[in-house]
Amino acid sequence: MAALDLFGRRWALRILWELRAGPLGARALLARCEGLSSSVLYQRLRELVASGIIAPSADGYELTPLGTALRDALRPLDEWASVWAKEQERDDQQPTEM
């Protein structure tokens, strides 16, 4: 349950998503996460570092081996979300009956 508590916190999964392709600094993360405040970013970064999922690096923050394993585990969820979004888009384009 501790993992769900961590990942359920606002912006945690988004930060991990943005780090999926490689390290990023705090400014880059703020730019990619519109609406994220710097105070919340630094709180989430501290939590994710403490959990062993990300680590500070010369280029900012990066996924650890544990974080990379999590990224790989979330890949099926990302694929499902893509299918779901297409279904939602298709439903939104259907004319509604009166």
Between CA 11 and CA 46 the distance in angstroms is 13
Please tell me the predicted confidence (pLDDT) of residue 94.
77
Those residues whose C-beta lies under 8 Å from the C-beta of residue 37, and which sit 6 or more positions away, are none
- The model carries a pTM of 0.81
Quick one: pLDDT at residue 3?
82
Res 96: pLDDT = 66
Backbone angles phi, psi at 54, to 5 degrees: -130, 165
73 closest CA partner among 82, 65, 85, 61: 65
Taking only the tens place, the pLDDT of each residue in 10-29 is: 999 999 999 999 999 999 99
What are the phi and psi torsion angles at 61 (to 5°)?
-130, 145
Q: What is the pLDDT of residues 30-80, one digit of tens each?
A: 999 999 999 999 999 999 999 999 999 999 999 999 999 998 988 898 899
